[in-house]
Amino acid sequence: MKTFLLKISSPEGDLFSEEVISIRLRGSEGELAVLAGHIPFVSSVKPCSFKIELSDGEEKEGRTGGGMLSVSKDKTVFLTGNVEWKN
Amino acid sequence: MGADIKQLRTRIKSVNSTLHLTKAMGLVASSKIRKATEAMLKGQEYSSALIETVDELSSYEECRKSPYMKEREGGKICLVVIAGDRGLAGGYNANVFRLMRNFPDAMVIPIGKRACERFSGELLYAEKFSYSLAKEMAEDICRGFLNGEFDRFGIVATKYNSLMSQDAYVKWILPLQKSEKKASSSAIFEPDEITVLNAVIPEYIAGIIISSVKESFACEVAARRVAMDSAGKNAKEMLDDLGLQYNRARQGAITQEITEIVAGSEA
């Protein structure tokens, strides 16, 4: 599977920065998933639980209080104030 | 003569304890500087990404319709004022409060113990300020702005130039200024620019508040260290002077005593 760099950034610094296969979360218009090679786009993120598929196929789950997702060619940045990891 | 010596001795003692105090406070401040500047840089990284996005959004024609961008006639001002938790930090708190004299009628949301005492707000420590507090505050501010409780919103904080120099400033945030930058339109906004803009604004304000608090705290610590350094230096100078005076007085008393004894034996 192709991977892309996902950064989860908070005011306390980067909470996560790794090559991943996908991230699924709730945008302003409903559920969305980002895979490698997604066109650049920006969306706000609603408070939701999100799932990240790591490069080794493992799944990481967390909850966020909302934020902003910005996808650019070289990386995807998820700006959020607080994240609670489930595992 | 005897009373003079005693007075000098008590003064030397009190200046000595001042020196100890400034040294201790300076040490505490320097141990906090590194952590505070690191936190400041992380906060800036976070908020700069938000600022960039909002900047780009504000340059779109259709975003001008957003209620956050509408210039309003009324002159009611709301300010978040960020000052320190403690005094003895040189001009740090005074500079912020001096700037506030330009806005005597503003609605004030204070952060930092000193600011809370001065503007009688709910006690919020700048050092322990968290993102969730900033978010709550930002949501209240957005609600207040949209309901017309105030027409302009800004932040009064301190900018960190270097360890030696910090400046108090006021930064206006709402209504949003349209950016001069041309929309680069490299990215798609989903569902559209104005919806994203309106949804991101509370996040944007919270980001700016928290990064300003972190920057101001770094300024407070740096200002305190510099102030304590120079206070310590002054105390040392004073001690030298007092020591000289004390020794001179002591010498004088001894000389006088000898003269008296000699005069007595001669008589």
Question: Rounded mean pLDDT of chain B?
Answer: 90
pLDDT under 50: residue ranges of chain A: none
Split into its structural domains, chain A has a count of 1
Per-residue pLDDT at B176:
87
> What domain range is B199 assigned to?
38-219
Hey, are the CB atoms on B199 and A28 less than 8 Å from each other? Answer: yes
Please report which confidence band the pLDDT of residue B20 belongs to, taking 50, 70 and 90 as the band edges: very high
Residue B60, domain member (yes or no): yes
For B123-132, write each residue's pLDDT tens digit: 889 888 988 8
Chain B residues whose beta carbon lies within 8 Å of the beta carbon of residue A38: none
Strand locations in chain A (E): 4-10, 13-27, 30-35, 41-45, 48-54, 59-64, 67-71, 75-80, 83-85
Model ipTM over 0.90: no
Chain B residues whose beta carbon lies within 8 Å of the beta carbon of residue A82: 131-132
Please report which confidence band the pLDDT of residue B65 belongs to, taking 50, 70 and 90 as the band edges: confident
Find the CATH number of the domain harbouring A17.
Answer: 2.60.15.10
Distance between A12 CA and the closest CA of chain B, angstroms: 6
Contact B155, B141 (CB under 8 A): no
Per-residue pLDDT at B185:
59
Distance between A87 CA and the closest CA of chain B, angstroms: 22
Among residues 28-67 of chain A, which lie with CB inside 8 Å of chain B?
28-29, 32, 39-44, 65-67
Find the CATH number of the domain harbouring B111.
Answer: 3.40.1380.10
For B188-219, write each residue's pLDDT tens digit: 887 788 888 888 899 999 999 999 999 999 99
B188 vs A10, A13, A41: nearest CB: A41
B43 vs A11, A65, A82: nearest CB: A11
Split into its structural domains, chain B has a count of 1
Place of tokens 């000289």: B244
Q: What is the DSSP letter of A36?
A: T
> What domain range is A21 assigned to?
4-85
Is B140 or B55 the better-scoring residue by pLDDT?
Answer: B140
Question: Residue B55 pLDDT more than 60?
Answer: yes
Chain B residues whose beta carbon lies within 8 Å of the beta carbon of residue A40: 186-188
Size of interface A-B (CB pairs under 8 A): 82
